[in-house]
Structure 1
Amino acid sequence: MVFSAHSADIMVNQMGYLPSGDKYAYLLAEEPSDIQLLSVLDGRLVAKLESADAVSLPDERRVRAIDFSQVKTPGWYKLVSDNGQSVPFPIEADAYEPLNERLVHALYLQRSGMVVNDRATGMNRPQSHMQDGQIFRTDAFHKAGTHLDVVGGWYDAGDFGKYVATTTITVARLLEAYRQTPQLYSDTKQPGSDKPAIIDESIYALDWLLKMQREDGAVYRKVSGASWPAKIGPWQDNQTRFIYGVSTPETAKFAATMAFAARTIKPFDADLSRQYLSAAIHAANYLASQDGQYFDWQEGDDSGSGPYMANKFDKEASLETDVDDRLWAYAELYITTGQDKFKRAFQDNYDPQWIDIFEWKNPALMGVWHLILAEEKGAFRDQLANDLDQVASRYLQQSQQSPFRVANQRFIWGSNKMTAEAGILIAWADFAKGRLDNRTSVQSQIDYLLGANAFDMSFVTNSGTYSVRNLHHLYRIATGVSLPGYLVGGPNEMAQAGVAPKNMGMLSYIDSEKSYAVNEFAIDYNASLIGLIAVHHAYFNHY
């Protein structure tokens, strides 16, 4: 079985490397080989390199690392072996800045409830889903069929569903990237705006989240049609769109995101900041009235949208409880309000088992990280930093044993997002301990996503010499318009669409628009890569 569409036997980060950064390429070869680094400009030999010991892929092909970190001179290069060569790649200080702009701008292209006329991409679509939405099932506050204004927000993925679970973690990841390295984002603005584009996008999504809060502080889970849409543009999707029931996990993620946003948005808009904090406290009061996890869910709620709760594919322990979601909420509320009751609630519910990568299934890590930043030195902070470091050690070990040094070894739906988040976790553990030891591993996660993988392919559309072409996205399929800056889900051993090869680990991928289980984009995937680039940048700029 052939997994790569290209003849190259040397895989590189196709977006390039930083002059003072770590630089690894990978040779697919049974035996070691001498490698030459050549200048693309004049063909000059820059360095002779050796390949390291091999690690085997699931199909038993051998992967060998090539270290050329000693080369720091900006320019365009290629690596050449006896059997082939890499694509050309740059070494330059701003290697990831165009990518970063595309990743943020892709979220703008996902906006619902407004005209999108984008010169950069050619996307030109009318306003869509301006009637969102109707209450799907009668609850204590609204009868079924009642219309509430929930227009706006982002389409979650390649179809037209809008979800609180992923919108919250996406906004939080954007705001954290801005908090971590504001200089990366300060100069990129939407036309007519005085705010960084990453802040504008966050506010657009936050406005929609506010609309999803019920009168008692609880938060509705999602907005979608009762049937999956056809391969059409969003303005052509005329089915009735429903608002589905509240849950405590979504309400907790909402409370956390709003409390964090209140801090981050305050310098840009103090009135909005106050509104966010009020909504966060209202959500927290609802949570206080609920003893455990609660979902207003019935069979049929997922006939046209994703469940975003425990299901036959998602069975993680964190989905059996809302403690992880509440931990994040308590942390953010404590930091923003200074009220000790929230810190006590965090400490009473804290268990290190909930420290893992930041995702909708388990967002506790963001709260842990922000507490580490906020707390003075002491036993509580030390415990959090030590617990985080233990988890990072596990990911580091996996990275060191993996082809292409991939820290995430769960190749399931959204594995590329998980890879980016594993890199962020490793970086945060470094920073929490006051060290810069594992920058190489963080770089390796970026490299893998941008071409240093078995497919010699960047998993971000229009980003690299060979990048994803057949994105599963209804608008792209319906119109043929290219959508740049979209990170796809990546290898997925379960291959639910029945197109990609199953049970092949990092080889369970195919660049096909029919394979939604590996080639669909989602807003939180982009957010994770944005966050990964931000923490990587922080290694060079005094985190």
Structure 2
Amino acid sequence: MSRLLLGAAAVLLTTAATQAPPAPIRIDQAGFETRGPKIAVLPSTQAKPLAWTLTDARGKTAASGQTIPVGADAASGESVHRIDFGSFHTPGTDYRLHVGATASHPFAIADRPFAPVATAAMSFFYQQRSGVPILPAFVERSYLARPAGHAPDIATCFAGVDQKGGKWPGCGYKLDATGGWYDAGDHGKYVVNGGVSTWTLLDLHERLAAFGDANAFADGRLPLPERTNGKDDLLDEARVEVAFLLAMQIPDGTKL
């Protein structure tokens, strides 16, 4: 056992030694909107402003300015400066911020830099589907694909004595609860949590329409098996849980 632990420790130390430290200039890794605010953070104990430059993909200076000393930041426990380059409006990729010898990771400036984040967030719902296989064609990385889980998923009422001595009478019916979304990694499925999540998607659909972006998740926009059915992809995903919620209703005339 001691050899195993020492070996694991050696692997961890080797991994830590080979990993590059995080860039000292913190930026939004998703990018910045062309006409939106652009703020970066530099950990520094310097009391005076520091010169910064913004370089493009060719390494040429695209903008420059002075940092804004902020001082102690309670959330991070660091002393920081702000870098405000919101007046720069040229789209592009592989931009970097520099202060002295330090530089940020490369980032993009674009009209809709967060669109991939929305797609990734919606992909999470597909990957949480129960009762159907998660197909390689619709996930970002092949190892996220998997066979169908809990197919079928037949539920009934608990009958007997629980761990605390409580007696449960059971019930005379079963529900085919196949489908819907898993709540988390433990593969539980709950109507309350599922109802909140479904409402969130449906509310988003309505709000996008109200703000003039009704086609944000039009058919084919998301990597889903239903992407060519002529229906809005966001509604396709919401329908998965709506079907589960309907299936979880007890038969008419049955007492809880």
Do they fold alike, i.e. is TM over 0.5?
Answer: yes
> How much does 1:152 deviate?
0.5
Partner AA of 1:153 in structure 2: G
1:26 lines up with 2:62 in the alignment: no
Partner AA of 1:85 in structure 2: A
> How much does 1:196 deviate?
2.3
Residues 1:48 and 1:209: Cα distance change in structure 2 (over 3 Å): same
1:115 lines up with 2:133 in the alignment: yes
Aligned mates of 2:196, 2:184 — CA distance in 1? 14
1:74 lines up with 2:106 in the alignment: no
TM alignment of 1:136-535, pairs within 5 A: 136-137=157-158, 143-144=170-171, 146-181=173-208, 182-186=214-218, 188-189=221-222, 190=224, 191-215=227-251
Task: Compare relative contact order (CA 8 Å, sep 6+) and give the higher one, 1 or 2.
Answer: 1
Match of 1:6 among 11, 18, 21: 21
1:534 corresponding residue in structure 2? none
**As a proportion of its length, which structure holds more helix?**
1
Residues 1:126 and 1:60: Cα distance change in structure 2 (over 3 Å): closer
Aligned mates of 1:217, 1:145 — CA distance in 2? 12
Which runs of no fewer than 5 residues in structure 2 stay unpaired? 1-18, 160-168, 209-213
SS in 2 for 1:158: coil
Equivalent residues of 1:34, 1:51 under 8 A apart: no
Deviations 1:422-467, CA, capped at 9 Å, x for gaps: xxxxxxxxxxxxxxxxxxxxxxxxxxxxxxxxxxxxxxxxxxxxxx
Equivalent residues of 2:24, 2:43 under 8 A apart: yes
What TM-score does the superposition give when structure 2 sets the normalisation length? 0.74
Partner AA of 1:203 in structure 2: R
Q: How many residues are matched?
A: 215
TM alignment of 1:99-114, pairs within 5 A: 99-114=117-132
Deviations 1:219-240, CA, capped at 9 Å, x for gaps: xxxxxxxxxxxxxxxxxxxxxx
> How much does 1:160 deviate?
0.8
Aligned mates of 2:30, 2:178 — CA distance in 1? 36
Larger Rg: 2
Partner AA of 1:10 in structure 2: I
Match of 2:57 among 22, 28, 40: 40
Aligned mates of 2:131, 2:123 — CA distance in 1? 17
Which runs of no fewer than 5 residues in structure 1 stay unpaired? 219-245, 247-543
2:71 corresponding residue in structure 1? 54
SS in 2 for 1:183: coil
Residues 1:85 and 1:42: Cα distance change in structure 2 (over 3 Å): closer
Residues 1:59 and 1:101: Cα distance change in structure 2 (over 3 Å): closer
1:128 lines up with 2:155 in the alignment: no
Equivalent residues of 1:174, 1:198 under 8 A apart: yes
What TM-score does the superposition give when structure 1 sets the normalisation length? 0.37
**As a proportion of its length, which structure holds more strand?**
2
SS in 2 for 1:213: coil
